Amino acid sequence: MNIDMIRAAATRLQGHAVRTQLVRSPFLDEIAGRRVWVKPECLQHTGSFKFRGGYSAVSALSPEVRAKGVIAFSSGNHAQGVALAAKMHDTSAVIIMPSDAPQLKIDNTKAYGAEVVLYNRDTESRDDIGAKISSERGLTLVKPFDEPLVVAGQGTCGIEIAEDANALGIKNAEVIVCCGGGGLTSGIALALEADAPTLRVRPAEPEGFDDVARSLRSGTLESNTATSGNICDAIITPRAGELTFPVMQRLCGAGLAVSEDEVLGAMAQAFARLKLVAEPGGAAALAAALYRRDQITGDDVIVTISGGNVDPAMFARALETL
């Protein structure tokens, strides 16, 4: 995982991914006490940044390997990203999803033409299921975050953030990233190290599932004791990746943890002020910027809204906080 891989992924994604622009609102600035710049990856294909990594990985396979099909495991966003990337390359995709994933994400993944296999995330191992099916069918496994080609695709977000920050004259800022396994966080950190070294990445996670923040404090890879039980399903993983954590340990600042109420508030503010639809996991970084202002430094903060695939009932719950 390095900047050359990220630049190569950017070339492959050219003309296929949405080039999302930084946006802001004075209303959000007032809440946060500083300028808040939002990277709206909820407007990306499939409604999430995960399309970048999925397309990066599928497009890098040889035609012979790609023709056999791909397999992935995901709570929904990586699933959709890989499913669409496979469809765009005229190949098949099998997606292993937790049975408690939002129905919208399951339905959308099927709509992209993928075969969906459901599992119980508390009693079954998605890694074991994926390895078994991959071996039986000769499919290529596209991991959700601990895969260099996927991280390279996510890193293209960082290239764009660096370009926009330079154009806007943002010289020093913290870049808060919604963080699960660390693919987006480490990818952006690697890109900024090369193209905007004065911008510092900080991961944002749900309270009680802040394994990355704890790992950064302890210096060792720590795990979550549970893998469900929070509205931020998109960024709940057992622990960060073996590949992604060393990058975050080297390049990232301290992690930020946000409550469910703060996440719901951020979702509501994103809609009211920017007309953006954010899913809970995709709003964690904005929640940190808005409601953990004393833990952030500088006049500017850049945040990712990493996904917008939210069920109507959950979105209505968020809007009730306005």
pLDDT reading at 98 higher than 90: no
Supply the pLDDT for residue 215: 98
For the whole model, what pTM was predicted?
0.95
Supply the pLDDT for residue 228: 84
pLDDT-derived band at 122 (thresholds 50, 70, 90) equals confident
Torsional class of 34: left (φ above 0), alpha (ψ -120 to 50), beta (otherwise): beta
Supply the pLDDT for residue 131: 85
**CB atoms closer than 10 angstroms to residue 125:** 13
Give the tens place of pLDDT for each residue, 217-254: 999 999 998 888 999 989 998 899 999 999 999 999 99
* Residue among 71, 193, 46 nearest 129 (CA): 71
Rounded Cα gap, residues 319 and 267, in angstroms: 8
Q: Is-contact 97 115, C-beta < 8 A?
A: no
Give the tens place of pLDDT for each residue, 138-185: 999 998 999 999 999 999 999 999 999 999 999 999 999 999 999 999
CA distances from 263 to 5, 43, 114, 317 (A): 33, 19, 30, 11
Supply the pLDDT for residue 104: 82
Q: What is the mean pLDDT of the chain?
A: 95
